[in-house]
Chains A and B, each alone.
Chain A
């Protein structure tokens, strides 16, 4: 068990959370079961687990997009009752608005929140510069590469100055080189923004390279199987850190844990009739 942390330092807390869905054909499906998780302020946490185990569900609960069937979800000490303005969410698929130019996409958040237009545009231009998209302000998303669209999504989220940042496998669709570049950029933005991050991924190396702590989930319904502190020094260069002996050591230990769960979920996927629940 990790040492208890003082309430003031806790950014996100999930206590004994369960989440059930009813499928269209009326069956009940449990995504999370007795799920416990604590994220400290300013901490970068990664969540890894087998495909389809309920990783994204935890993010929806923290973001207030969904309510838990049982248990408590708190951010900054208060229960989550809806969407909170302190939360930012970068989605797995492209969630930038295809009918808006880069500038209009980035400026959306401040304008939704009632900032003056001139002020919002100045802020947006600054963020477009920070993610390296200067000169592309009037391009539409379909004119950009996958990596550039991710940068738009990052700027769109960071411009609101979130205290809690949720990320859902957001680099999984990128090629390996672009992904490593984006990871470094993300770490840079994070170190200046000092937000608490929950980063969901199925890529263990990505999780270790980025995070302070890695949560390993069981095959669905998900609970936390183990939590690992990643004691690699910061600032990190994700392209190089993966060749350090300590990195390899950590990833071997965690993989031992994760492999069992991956195998379970793989077995289940091959037998579609029993995809449902553990007893």
Chain B
């Protein structure tokens, strides 16, 4: 008599647990199916796009001389890999462009963060400089490339300078905004706990601006790459930009596309590095749910 309610309670528990685990399993199966479907569709899309392009070229619906074909592009990359480019081995070109990009990115990002935090923390500086920054920001900055080539020459410096200018404004803008958005309560709390002005900056303002700054780093690495490549375009002796310029000069469409693909690979690799850095720096953030989609 006494045992029966407990027993049924245990059985109820058991049943509930089983139902729950069945539900979990079912939702896992659903998730896996969804993921497989997404991947199949992705691959299918690539096959259709590239296949269509290739066929269109083969059947002369489009002129492969102007628009190239995936097979020609593949061939071009293979030639570059095995025999090198007209300017030397491919890896050397990639290395040169990467060096300019990374240097420009680092210098631009550091300057941007310093200026953004300084202006964000100082009302007077912000009021004085904001208008000039707006003006400078409205100029299409790639045109500065010509100035840099004239003043800094055909070497690496001019490309780095262009990349710096491209990166600076993006990072600066976000750092400034991030500092301005820092929670008033957190700042007040730090001050009452005994923080000096400098300690407030390092302990509250910069950490809370960090997610803004890192968001800008994602975008601005791409900008640095644009700066370096355009700089090479305008005048250089080495790099992927020159590769594109040479291909363009000899009406080699496949060469232009091949260089684009090399650039895309570089950009994707850098992007994943920045994501790694982000996860290290902002590990205090709650984990994002449903990252795989729904």
Query: Contact between B191 and A83 (Cβ–Cβ < 8 Å)?
Result: yes
Task: Give chain A nearest CB distance to B201 CB in angstroms.
Answer: 12
Query: Contact between B194 and A112 (Cβ–Cβ < 8 Å)?
Result: yes
Closest to B210 in A: A99
Q: Which of B185, B190, B282 contacts A108 (CB under 8 A)? A: B190
A112 and B193 in contact, given A100-B284, A142-B286 (Cβ under 8 angstroms): yes
Query: Contact between A98 and B196 (Cβ–Cβ < 8 Å)?
Result: no
CB neighbours of A160 from chain B (8 A):
193-194
Closest 9 CB pairs of A and B: A95-B189, A112-B194, A109-B193, A113-B194, A99-B284, A112-B195, A142-B286, A99-B207, A89-B192
Q: Which of A65, A88, A109, A157 contacts B188 (CB under 8 A)? A: A65
CB neighbours of A88 from chain B (8 A):
192
Say yes or no for B71: interface residue by CB 8 A criterion.
Answer: no
Say yes or no for A140: interface residue by CB 8 A criterion.
Answer: yes
A43-70 contacts to B (CB < 8 Å): 63, 65
The answer for the CA separation of A99 and B203 in the assembled complex, in Å, is 10
Closest to A98 in B: B284
Chain B interfacial residues counted at CB < 8 A: 22
Say yes or no for B208: interface residue by CB 8 A criterion.
Answer: yes
Task: Give chain A nearest CB distance to B187 CB in angstroms.
Answer: 9
Say yes or no for A87: interface residue by CB 8 A criterion.
Answer: yes
A134-149 contacts to B (CB < 8 Å): 140-142
Query: Contact between B185 and A112 (Cβ–Cβ < 8 Å)?
Result: no
CB neighbours of B191 from chain A (8 A):
65, 83
Query: Contact between B194 and A89 (Cβ–Cβ < 8 Å)?
Result: no
Query: Contact between A87 and B192 (Cβ–Cβ < 8 Å)?
Result: yes
The answer for the CA separation of A98 and B43 in the assembled complex, in Å, is 41
Say yes or no for B204: interface residue by CB 8 A criterion.
Answer: yes
Say yes or no for B285: interface residue by CB 8 A criterion.
Answer: yes
Say yes or no for B45: interface residue by CB 8 A criterion.
Answer: no
The answer for the CA separation of A30 and B65 in the assembled complex, in Å, is 76
Q: Which of B199, B208, B284 contacts A142 (CB under 8 A)? A: B284
What range describes how many residues of A lie at the interface?
20 to 34
Say yes or no for B186: interface residue by CB 8 A criterion.
Answer: yes
Majority-rule SS of A interface residues: loop
Query: Contact between A95 and B188 (Cβ–Cβ < 8 Å)?
Result: yes
Query: Contact between A97 and B186 (Cβ–Cβ < 8 Å)?
Result: yes
The answer for the CA separation of A88 and B189 in the assembled complex, in Å, is 9
Task: Give chain B nearest CB distance to A43 CB in angstroms.
Answer: 21
Task: Give chain A nearest CB distance to B125 CB in angstroms.
Answer: 22
A97-140 interface code vs B (CB 8 A; 1 in, 0 out): 11111000000110011000000000000000000000000001
Say yes or no for A93: interface residue by CB 8 A criterion.
Answer: yes
The answer for the CA separation of A89 and B207 in the assembled complex, in Å, is 22
Say yes or no for A85: interface residue by CB 8 A criterion.
Answer: yes
Q: Most chain-A CB neighbours within 10 Å: which of B186, B194, B282, B286? A: B194
Say yes or no for A91: interface residue by CB 8 A criterion.
Answer: yes
Say yes or no for A156: interface residue by CB 8 A criterion.
Answer: yes
28 contacting pairs across A/B (C-beta < 8 A): A63-B192, A65-B191, A65-B192, A83-B191, A83-B192, A85-B194, A89-B188, A91-B185, A91-B189, A97-B186, A97-B190, A97-B204, A99-B282, A99-B284, A100-B284, A101-B284, A108-B203, A109-B194, A112-B190, A112-B193, A112-B194, A112-B196, A112-B203, A141-B284, A142-B285, A156-B189, A156-B193, A160-B193
Query: Contact between B284 and A95 (Cβ–Cβ < 8 Å)?
Result: no
Task: Give chain B nearest CB distance to A155 CB in angstroms.
Answer: 12
Task: Give chain A nearest CB distance to B197 CB in angstroms.
Answer: 11
The answer for the CA separation of A99 and B210 in the assembled complex, in Å, is 10
Query: Contact between A95 and B207 (Cβ–Cβ < 8 Å)?
Result: no
A65-93 interface code vs B (CB 8 A; 1 in, 0 out): 10000000000000000010101110101
The answer for the CA separation of A42 and B107 in the assembled complex, in Å, is 55
The answer for the CA separation of A160 and B192 in the assembled complex, in Å, is 10
